[in-house]
Amino acid sequence: MKHDCLFFITFSIICITAFSSCKKEETNSSYLSSNDTLPANIILRPIPTGQFTMGGNTIQNDAPTVNITMSAFEMSATEITNNEYIDFLNAAYAFGWISVEAKQVNDPCGSYTENMIVGTDIAPYAGEFFLQLGETGGCTSGGDPEHIDNKSWITFNSTNSTFEILDSTKGNWPVNWVKWYGAYAFADYYNVSLPTEAQWEYAARGGQQYEYPTDDGTLNQSKANYNGDTPGVYNPNGHAEPVASYPANPYGLYDMAGNVWEWCQDYYSSSFYTDGATDPVNTSAGTDSKRIRRGGSWNYHTTTLKTYARASDFQNRGNNHFGFRIVKN
């Protein structure tokens, strides 16, 4: 009799455990399949398999010229917009991935409180800041207020628990104030990826080994949104522009040069890339755990917009000229 009871209890525990596991697996599967579809406005352009020469002569001497082989992938034609990021935030909020919390912010203009999007325990990078909301525009390193059009245009309506845009005319502007964590979370939610640094440069060169990621590889103010040729010049009237305001490169990609910096998947390393690699991606955090950003922005100068120019920043950084685009492998 004792053996029968013991068998029954053991069998019951196994069944309950198995059922719980199946339920968890079913929930995750259902969640993933329901979010395989990107927001309708996001158009993916095919980038073919091929080889290219990556790197060039940078100020930091951190882009050695190497031959790289790339598999085919798709890349979003534009930087992710405010409207597209709002779609993600509302879906992620309903799913329980994110919360809105008031946090202390410090910049050259002072110390103040802003609402932040924060990852919950079930989100990737739980507890990290994804995005800053409703910012007043930010400050230059010298303490001068930025143009008001550089604010975060996304706000949270606590009355109906919905993320909204502050100005409907800014819906097609690239989302800004995005931390690396917020860019990664968007991609992860829709089962896509941030571009690797090699994917970004391969796509930026347009299959033509272009020096600048524009329609014809040259750069002037009619081809990209940037801040002139001279480093350190401050333009008090500078700001992002609606995506696709400038001609596309040969792969049909807009604003690979300028507008906002674009977060990439890789950690930064000055010595990672080697000749003959296939689909390289740097997953080693190194000593400072900085992630790659590419493409320059509305307030950066010509040199930073080159197809091989490299920049990096901490994952919790993200201000009025940080955005991203996505890829599907």
Is residue 9 included in any domain, yes or no? no
pTM for this model (two decimals) = 0.89
**Which pLDDT score, from 0 to 100, does residue 5 have?**
41
Q: Could you list the residue range(s) of the whole structural domain that residue 192 is in?
A: 41-329
Alpha helices by DSSP H, 35-172: 82-95
**In the predicted structure, residue 23 carries a pLDDT above the cut 50:** no
Q: Which helix (H) or strand (E) holds 75?
A: strand 73-76
The predicted-structure confidence for 287-311, as pLDDT tens digits, reads as follows 999 999 999 999 999 999 999 999 9
- Give the CATH number for residue 196: 3.90.1580.10
Is residue 36 included in any domain, yes or no? no
Is residue 205 included in any domain, yes or no? yes
Is residue 61 included in any domain, yes or no? yes
Which tops the pLDDT comparison, 284 or 105? 284
How many other β-carbons are positioned within 10 Å of the β-carbon of residue 114?
16
Among the ranges given (11-15, 62-66, 129-133, 178-182), the one the predictor scored with the smallest mean pLDDT:
11-15
Q: Into how many domains does the chain fold? A: 1
How many other β-carbons are positioned within 10 Å of the β-carbon of residue 79?
26
Is residue 184 included in any domain, yes or no? yes
Is residue 10 included in any domain, yes or no? no
Chain centroid to CA 185 = 9
Is residue 62 included in any domain, yes or no? yes
Which tops the pLDDT comparison, 13 or 122? 122
Is residue 8 included in any domain, yes or no? no
Rounded Cα distance, 128 and 22, in Å:
30
Rounded Cα distance, 324 and 319, in Å:
12
